[in-house]
Amino acid sequence: MAIYIQGIGSVSPQRIDTGTKEIQFLQSDSNRLSCLEPDYKDLVPPMQLRRMSKVVRMGVASAKQALKDAGIETPHIITLGTAYGCLADTENFLEKLLTQEETMLTPTAFIQSTHNTVSGQIALLTNCQGHNFTFVHRGHSFETSLQETMMWLEEHKANEDFSVLTGGIDELTNHSFDIMSRFGTYKHDEEIGNSFTEGTIAGEGAHLFIAGNVQTANSYAKCLDVMLCADHDIEKQLKKFLKHNHIAAKDIDTCLVGLNGDSRYDETIVKNISSLSHAQLLGFKKWCGEFPTSNSFAFILACLILRNQQIPKELYLNPSGSNDKAPENVLIYNHYKNKYHSFILMQRL
Amino acid sequence: MGAISSIGKNVEENLDALMNERSGTGYPEFLKTIHTNDLPVCEIKMSNEELAALSGMKNALPRTTYLSAIAVEEAIADLKTKVNTKKDFDLMHSNYRIGFISGNTLGGMDRSEYFCEDYLHDKTEGHLRDVVHHECGSITELVAEHLGIHHFVTTISTACSSSANAIIHGSRLLKHDKLDIVIVGGADALCRFTLNGFNTLMILDPEPSKPFDENRKGLNLGEGAAYVILISEHVKKELQIETNLFVAGYANANDAFHQTASSAEGNGNFKAMGEALTLSGLKSTDIQYINAHGTGTANNDSSEGIAIQRLFGYNIPMVSSTKANTGHTLGACGALEAVYSCLSLEHKVVFPNLRHETSMSELSFTPIKKLLKNVALNNVMSNSFGFGGNCTSIIFSKEQAL
């Protein structure tokens, strides 16, 4: 059953204007992309804003944008995905715990370190008393949350007003960047843009949206299905996924691919979708960086591409090879560390 | 079913402790903390090495991983004994779509604490193997790999209702025919992070906790893991599985009041219990017993009690909290108490609420203080409430003989 995207919110390293529906590509070429935080004044009450850490601010702001865009004050339910939860608050409490040897501690950071802080805060600020879930399963956190959204909407298909606030959130901190660097996750600055070396670039983001059962004047696109790949034969699973949705490989005109510039993965990832011979391949991780819920950024891009009927040239993986087709069927294929592969099928209204 | 907690390393030991009013409360012996004689906890009296050996996993993994694996393996073995069609039924090599959904709140925090001791001193220090399993999802992934579960694996973290929500999510995936069999539950081990965190909130009782007592002073933290295996109707038929227990209703609601405190009227609790009842199609008078969240904090027990009164009116079911036995096991408590609710139905018993002396002034009911045997139980409600206003209620029922 298809679901309709009624409103979007984004706090990312680029600027997405939910009013004009424009994407401004403002930064790349660094091994660390940080979010451009919006002016929170209109989005979060100042008293509450002061107490929020970055990821909570980002999440709440993105939620408020999505609700405003959809013209809704309170969603029926909230379901979010985040692999890391509230890292900065966790680090803050852990650091004090260790350096002060378990003495003289204060509760604020601990309270906000809980993984469901963002979804709880959104519920509080929007007075949403419905179902409220947070999935924290690494590179499938966002996708599981999307699957949950689709199940809820199917159960409430008779209810035209039913709305779900959903999406993916993760923050990057100095400590997480330093520790992930020790694992060899990121490229050195001089290797940016070179996909023949190992490593990727670090990123973060909060991408939330409103999903509903019916098409409205606000609707961006419809999402037909999501598949969380269970085994390693990705080509076979793609076939199964397309067949299940009664769509031929040649009808996929646009594919947002989770290539991240890491020489260990990129070749395999391209090979996995070699059956999509007619699709314009687009990359998104150059603009949001790599993080476990990066696919929520791709989801927002797909919504804008389908609504605007225009593909920003910055996303082309092969700038000379545009297929000039109007975007109709968009497939999002992502992976995280060559594990946690997933497919999302989106369609023009 | 599978369970490990401070009152027993399997379901049978847990049942025995509940029947005999044993509590796992005492000062920490294995947890390295300065609070070894001021904050009682409900600790599993086994070292990480002993738990690793019991789980069959390698050393130096997060403690939560071992607890989770031990309880999941017990649940799988228990299912095997209930299969009547094949003597050597092997769940992992069957053709069924098998899911594993686990809740936890801290991932590998205990190892991250060790890592940071060195790392904070010098950023090039600290064993990376100690921080690699920091994420909550990593615990689930380690256990899934150990047991060979691939079809569908996910992790839920909604504070103290995490594993109750894993049960809801599993039930819904079965309902939507996305899976045939799903192992649901959760795990959390004690660590300095939570012990000190809850201590800053000033909601830890310096004595063994007294849920639903007028003079209660707070909760004791505990550790544990518990899982139940949910099967679809067709699997039950095909394998002729002997069980008459089922999930009759469930609901998750948000209190939308405060990040860590419940509203005085228990709005979220009331909504979760009410919606679980609606989904089950049962009347409030059909619920015979509530295994309450009952942490022992002033705030929880009052708002939960008031919500129960609002929903059940003059017909309040029997109520008790088993947290005086096990402590508050955070991400594990919803599943642990789900196992206890099923044991109640199976053995027709209501477990006593330990250490209760004085009834709460704002409540019209008193919890059950002594073990009740041969009770006619058909429907048991289990509540789990957590930070972020997260409120979950699940109803477990027994099919009535015709």
- Tell me which residue in B33, B193, B388 faces A116 most closely, judged by beta carbons: B388
Neighbour tally for B4: CB within 10 Å: 32
Q: Which alpha helices (H) appear in chain A, and where do they start and end?
A: 46-51, 54-70, 87-99, 108-112, 117-126, 141-155, 174-182, 234-244, 266-272, 285-288, 295-308
Task: Give the model confidence (pLDDT) of B38-71 as tens digits.
Answer: 999 999 999 999 999 999 999 999 999 999 999 9
Residue range(s) defining the domain that contains residue B130: 2-398
Contact A133 B169 (CB under 8 A): yes
By CB atoms closer than 10 A (0-12, 13-18, 19+), residue B82 is middle
Tell me what pLDDT residue A65 has: 97
Neighbour tally for B378: CB within 10 Å: 16
List CB contacts (< 8 A) between B152 and chain A.
228, 230
DSSP-assigned letter for residue B216: -
CA distance B373 to chain A (A): 36
Tokens representing B134 are 């920091």
Tokens representing A297 are 């950024």
Is B402's pLDDT higher than 60?
no
Contact B254 A130 (CB under 8 A): yes
Q: Taking a C-beta distance cutoff of 8 angstroms, is the pair A86, A57 a contact?
A: no
Strands ordered across the beta sheet of B41-42? B25-26, B41-42, B221-222
Tell me what pLDDT residue A244 has: 97
Query: How many domains, chain B?
Result: 1
Query: How many domains, chain A?
Result: 1
Tell me what pLDDT residue A138 has: 97
- Tell me which residue in A106, A117, A133 faces B259 most closely, judged by beta carbons: A117
Contact A137 B140 (CB under 8 A): yes
Is B162's pLDDT higher than 90?
yes
Determine the distance from the C-alpha atom of residue A86 to the mean position of all C-alpha atoms in its chain, rounded to a whole number.
Answer: 16
Rounded to whole angstroms, how far apart are CA atoms B282 and A232?
44
DSSP string, A68-119: HHHT-SS-SEEEEE-SS-SHHHHHHHHHHHHHTTT-S--SHHHHHTSTTHHH
CA distance B17 to chain A (A): 31
Helix (H) or strand (E) holding B386: strand B379-386
List CB contacts (< 8 A) between B196 and chain A.
93, 97, 102, 105, 110
The answer to whether residue B165 neighbours chain A at the CB level (below 8 Å) is: yes
Q: Taking a C-beta distance cutoff of 8 angstroms, is the pair A10, A60 a contact?
A: no
List CB contacts (< 8 A) between A110 and chain B.
193, 196-197, 200-201
DSSP string, A175-220: HHHHHHHHTT-B--GGGTT-TTSS-B-B--EEEEEEEESS--TT--
- Output the domain CATH number for residue A231: 3.40.47.10
The rounded mean pLDDT for chain B is: 96
Q: What is the 3-state secondary structure (H, E, C) of B344-382?
A: HHHHCCECCCCCCCCCCCCCCCCCCCCCECCCCCCEEEE
pLDDT band (50, 70, 90) for residue B242:
confident
Is B279's pLDDT higher than 90?
yes
Low-confidence residues of chain A, pLDDT below 70? 320-321, 323
Tokens representing B34 are 């300065």
Task: Give the model confidence (pLDDT) of B89-125 as tens digits.
Answer: 888 888 999 999 999 999 999 999 999 999 999 999 9
Q: What predicted TM-score, i.e. pTM, was given to this entire model? A: 0.97
CA distance B79 to chain A (A): 24
Task: Give the model confidence (pLDDT) of B136-153 as tens digits.
Answer: 999 999 999 999 998 999
The answer to whether residue B137 neighbours chain A at the CB level (below 8 Å) is: yes
pLDDT band (50, 70, 90) for residue B177:
very high
By CB atoms closer than 10 A (0-12, 13-18, 19+), residue B293 is buried
Contact B253 A129 (CB under 8 A): yes
List CB contacts (< 8 A) between B255 and chain A.
129
Residue range(s) defining the domain that contains residue A120: 3-347
Is B25's pLDDT higher than 70?
yes
The residue of chain B nearest to residue A152, with distances taken between CA atoms, is B172
Q: Chain A neighbours among B 341-400 (CB < 8 Å)?
A: 386-390
If phi > 0 it is left, if psi is from -120 to 50 it is alpha, else beta; for residue B107 that is: left
Rounded to whole angstroms, how far apart are CA atoms B2 and B75?
4
List CB contacts (< 8 A) between B151 and chain A.
230
Please give the biggest Cα pair distance in chain B: 69
The residue of chain A nearest to residue B126, with distances taken between CA atoms, is A179
Q: B328 - beta bridge partners? A: B221
Rounded to whole angstroms, how far apart are CA atoms B205 and B224?
19
List CB contacts (< 8 A) between A78 and chain B.
254
The residue of chain B nearest to residue A107, with distances taken between CA atoms, is B200
Neighbour tally for B121: CB within 10 Å: 12
Q: Compute the Cα dihedral for B113, B114, B120, B125 and give only its sign.
A: negative
CA distances (Å), origin B93, targets A52, B68, B98, B146: 48, 21, 10, 14
CA distance B16 to chain A (A): 34
Tell me what pLDDT residue A189 has: 84
- Please state the rounded mean pLDDT for residues B231-235: 95
A164: helix, coil or strand? strand
CA distances (Å), origin B296, targets B135, B255, B293, B302: 29, 19, 9, 9
The one-letter amino acid at B185: G
Contact A134 B105 (CB under 8 A): no
pLDDT band (50, 70, 90) for residue B342:
very high
- Tell me which residue in B155, B253, B259 faces A136 most closely, judged by beta carbons: B155
Q: B250 - beta bridge partners? A: B394
| A283-316 b/e (C-beta count within 10 Å ≥ 16 → b) | bbbbbbbbbbbbbbbbbbbbbbbbbeeebbebbe
- Output the domain CATH number for residue B389: 3.40.47.10
Tell me what pLDDT residue A72 has: 96
Tokens representing B266 are 């228990």
Q: Does the ipTM surpass 0.90?
A: yes
pLDDT band (50, 70, 90) for residue B155:
very high
DSSP string, B288-340: -EEE----S-HHHHHHHHHHHHHHHTT-PPEEE--HHHH-B-GGGHHHHHHHH
Tell me what pLDDT residue A1 has: 85
The one-letter amino acid at B267: N
Tell me what pLDDT residue A332 has: 98
Nearest to B205 by CA among B39, B386, B385, B37: B39
